[in-house]
Structure 1
């Protein structure tokens, strides 16, 4: 007579196993949420834990942080020559050049051998200290923390729950809601790290990954500096929520326009589509399936750290090189005044007096998102509000997000990025002008 088999649940797993997987899904995912989405106040600064750890390392152990970032830059510059990857395409050759240029610029800055004009506070010191150094440390730390956010089923569970919202609005899976929040609360580099990882797993299509990368990877909480510079801190809540709304409305519109609309929409390894019935139960089961099949925690941490190191080795020197060239063009040439001509029709549509005269300053955000704030800090309130919104909502800028995007495997060429930038900033200007009038009329702004 055969022995009865152990009792199993409807999913085919023993109850004890399901309980353990549920505890892992809840416990480790809660840790991931804490690391990425819960600001913690230390001293006078409130931000997420990976950002605090980065600041601690950069400020309290600066020689170590500088040494690590230089090592990452050197690896990023040398590795394409060692494995011959630089020969594979024109873009690889260009990126290899920028990596070497970034490494050279870092050396010139740290040895104080750069010319005086390049050592101005808003040139190499700003790019190295505020961007390359910070992002170079933040990405590997964020990659380790990413293990808990993505590795135990939270992404899949949220994807099932958010599918009815994200798919109709943004043409992206429900799981992209994680990207949106991580980018806004954390940083664009972490948001792009998430997007790239999920794209490589085949869960985002060739259209969805670019929509997410160019639509949700904002400058995050650092735009508080923009508000302070432009004198908008007295209207902080209105500025924050209106900017968030405008950013996501622009993303929803551009998702349905070229050049994003025509890209391939088929995922290689899509998440299962929810079936009619109890969505919450299906979300829980989707998360449990991942928790059951996950590799050992140590392997997950190592894999994510390796991804973070590889991405940082590309991003850190590229930020320095591309950002430096962008700032030189902005400061010493009329390039952005010429680019600003493309923005004048949108500024005329706003019917706000005098804003069209500042088109070149607004266009300078393509080089560095903070430049419009610096250039327009003494402008009238309407222009300052437009600048404050577009600094965030345009998403694409050469000193930071562009190198990060080009460092991923997401198919975003430079020409496509420039077109998306023009669409985003144009729509942002028009929407911000409407919201500005609402804010003034309601007494929320000014």
Structure 2
């Protein structure tokens, strides 16, 4: 019999560490007549601590990120390329490099009030800087708490427990549940990279990998909280997140059975072939095996794990995500505020929303499509809506659409999986059209 990882020390780390993570991220805490989370309390305290200096901190951070990323792109220095944290933050593609530069330029113009009104106005750039202040605070709050969810064993436990449901429901191996947990508790782009590596090593077929990337890579719990907070509905986070989970599962069941996912070859990577062999040991039940795997993961959890994992999240969000959010978010708000482009292309979605009885249907319509570019922009476009129900619907929709070009789309397109830009667009539209009536039904039941 092999080594057993179920010891008092490992069980202690698994149970207490995971409980702390769940308490901080998911347990609703009463606040007046509504609810919030301990993480939200911490975020608010951090934002208040920095006060009016936050916009200047954001600007310095964006300029620094742009300058170092340009230097890395031109010189390709080993001290960046061979450092895990620095390469994650500053080594990027031409598209993202341009976004970082644009984000830095916008930040300087907005904070110092230089340039045209359409960029620096309260409806566009100024809104973005304020919202990125909130993003900055919540990232600082959750980065070093997140490892308690990802590295204490709760992911492995839930992965094993969910395994018997995964294959019949989603037509993928049981290990795909870990990809799902990795994105829900971690980051969607990290889950896509994990899936790509599993395909490259022969554990997923082309169809399985493409399906997991486009259906299981939901955004993380803290990001969902950030979107809810941005839209002013953080007090509704428990039903908000429950709706995301329910609709996400239903979408995953449906999308697995229709094109274009269904038409992708169900074959393994030719150079490695099939390498997967999933079996739960006969001498153990599912629960016992789940505990074993959880304790195995918890064994390596320590203070250093919290520091390294937290720093990785912090660097990626501060120097990679926030610059892109400023660049794309400002552009989207400019287009939405000063041009009729989104109104034109989203008119059919306005009719669809009106048919479903959604308040402010045509005002909300642009936010249903702009999420194909970035997952945070729909929240930005919805800030001005007055209907709480409509904000709820758009917020949930933006987080179950999944195909965000600035996050996971580029990674998918660059992989060996046969999913190009147009197939991703079709999947995005399928998810949008199918999800909306489900979300509206849920919203009508809880609001």
Contact 1:37 1:48 in 2 (8 A): yes
Separation (CA, whole Å) in 2 of partners of 1:300 and 1:375: 38
For residues 61 and 121 of structure 2, the distance between their equivalents in structure 1, rounded to whole angstroms, comes to 25
Deviates more, 1:119-128 or 1:48-57: 48-57
Aligned partners of 1:139 and 1:309 also within 8 Å = no
- Please tell me whether the aligned partners of residues 382 and 394 of structure 2 are also in contact (alpha carbons under 8 angstroms): no
- Structure 2 counterpart of 1:211: 215
Instruction: Indicate the residue corresponding to 1:393 in structure 2.
Output: 397
CA RMSD of aligned residues (A): 4.6
2:85 equivalent in structure 1: none
1:53 aligns with 2:42: yes
Post-superposition offset of 1:85: 7.2
5+ residue gaps, structure 1, are 1-9, 183-189, 379-383
Distance in 1, matches of 2:430 and 2:35, equals: 33
**Contact 1:369 1:392 (C-alpha < 8 Å) held by counterparts:** no
* 289, 297, 304: which one aligns with 2:303: 297
> What is the distance in 1 between the residues matched to 2:243 and 2:364?
22
The aligned runs of 1:258-297 (5 Å cut-off) are: 258-260=259-261, 262=264, 273-275=279-281, 277-292=284-299, 294=300, 297=303
Q: 1:316 pairs with 322, 325, 338, which one?
A: 322
Residues of 1 paired with 2:392 and 2:9: CA distance?
A: 47
Q: Secondary structure at the match of 2:70?
A: helix
CA distance in 2, matches of 1:136, 1:402: 22
Aligned to 1:6: none
Contact 1:151 1:290 in 2 (8 A): yes
| Equivalent residue number for residue 420 of structure 1 | 427
Shift of 1:333: 2.2
Q: Is the counterpart of residue 362 in structure 1 residue 365 in structure 2?
A: yes
1:129-182 CA distance string (max 9 Å, x none): 12x222234335433222222223221121101122344434562335645764
- The corresponding residue for 1:175 is 178
TM norm structure 1: 0.71
The residue that corresponds to 1:4 in the other structure is: none
1:22 aligns with 2:31: no
Structure number with greater Rg is 1
Q: Distance in 1 between matches of 2:73 and 2:230?
A: 42
1:76 maps to: 65
Alignment match, 1:100: 101
Secondary structure, aligned partner of 1:302: helix
Structure 1's 324 and 413: CA in aligned 2 closer, same or farther, altered over 3 A?
farther
1:323 CA drift (Å): 0.8
Per-residue CA shift, 1:291-318, capped at 9, x if unaligned?
A: 33x2753155224413431343111011
Matched, 1:62 2:65: no
Q: Conserved in 1, the CA contact under 8 Å of 2:10 and 2:295?
A: yes
Q: Conserved in 2, the CA contact under 8 Å of 1:156 and 1:283?
A: yes
SS of residue in 2 equivalent to 1:61: helix
Q: Quick one: distance in 2 between partners of 1:297 and 1:35?
A: 18
157-166 or 51-60, which moves further after superposition? Answer: 51-60
Matched, 1:150 2:144: no
Range with greater deviation from structure 2 (92-101 or 116-125): 116-125
Alignment-derived partner of residue 329 in structure 1: 335
Cα 1:180–1:324 change in 2 (3 A) is same
Q: CA deviation at 1:56?
A: 1.8
CA deviation after TM superposition for structure 1 residue 249, in Å: 2.1
Q: Please list the CA deviations of residues 227-250 of structure 1 after superposition, one character each: whole Å capped at 9, or x if unmatched.
A: 869xxx9x9998886675445423
Partner of 2:188: 192
Alignment of 1:199-278 (within 5 A): 199=195, 202=198, 206-207=209-210, 208-214=212-218, 219-220=224-225, 222-223=227-228, 245-260=246-261, 262=264, 273-275=279-281, 277-278=284-285
Structure-2 separation of matches of 1:279 and 1:264? 28
The CA deviation at 1:322 is: 0.4
**Per-residue deviation at 1:28?**
2.0
SS in 1 for 2:177: coil
Tell me the secondary structure at the aligned position of residue 425 of structure 1: helix
Contact 1:215–1:247 at 8 Å: present in 2 too? no
Query: Could you say if the C-alpha distance between residues 363 and 58 of structure 1 is closer, same or farther in structure 2, counting changes exceeding 3 Å?
Result: same
Residues 295-354 of structure 1, C-alpha deviations (whole Å, 9 max, x = no match): 753155224413431343111011011011111222222322332245378569x5x589
Q: How does 1:113-152 map to 2 (within 5 A)?
A: 113-130=114-131, 132-152=132-152
Structure 2: tracts of 5 or more residues without a match: 82-91, 371-376
Q: Is the 8 A contact 2:66 2:100 kept in 1?
A: yes
1:12 matched residue in structure 2:
3
The Cα offsets for residues 197-235 of structure 1, whole Å up to 9 and x where unpaired, read as: 855875996432432225777744754775869xxx9x9
